[in-house]
Amino acid sequence: MFEELLAFFLGVVSVLSPCVLPVLPIVFAGSGLKIKDSIALFSGLILSISLLSLTPILIAGFRPLAFALLIFFSIYLISDRLELEFSRRISKLGRLARLRLPSFLVGFFLGFLWLPCIVPFLGIAVSEAILSERPLLVSICYVLGLATAVIVILLFGKNLKISFGRIRKVLGAAVLISTLYLMSLYK
């Protein structure tokens, strides 16, 4: 149950990232505020995030890889310098944003364009899923957390005040501590 709750929380925090949260209303406003286009964009986004989060099912059984990813992403969350360098390298995917595509495809590619911002949270969720006995459920919880956050922000975003920097560092430290504990159990 802990893995599922953590995955859901990671999905929520993914949307609160400083490079995701500010552009979320702009992206959906770009759909012309038509409900049909907004639903198509949202569906494409959720599909791409679902595919990304289902990675553990493909690599289940690679426990050392999961531990390595957990340690890397927890340090990534704690280190501003590492985040900046990694984000710079992966942000080159942003060139896809210039294409004129249907709303569903814009949403689908949006999940991949958000990777520089959400990769530590998605990486932790994927790593937790690899270690879990229920990887599909952990992946679904991550996507549900992300979807819930997107909907809440679109509906009530103007009234939310969030300190992402503090959340990120506390989450990174918590994941690092829990990873070291889990590693001690699997010796």
Q: Tens digits of per-residue pLDDT, 72-109?
A: 777 877 777 876 776 666 555 555 445 566 778 878 88
Q: Which of 3-12, 19-28, 87-96 has the highest mean pLDDT?
A: 3-12
Residue 86, CB-side half-sphere exposure with 13 Å CA sphere? 17
| pTM value surpassing 0.85 | no
How far apart CA 184 and CA 80 sit, in angstroms, is 28
Where residue 8 falls among pLDDT bands split at 50, 70, 90? very high
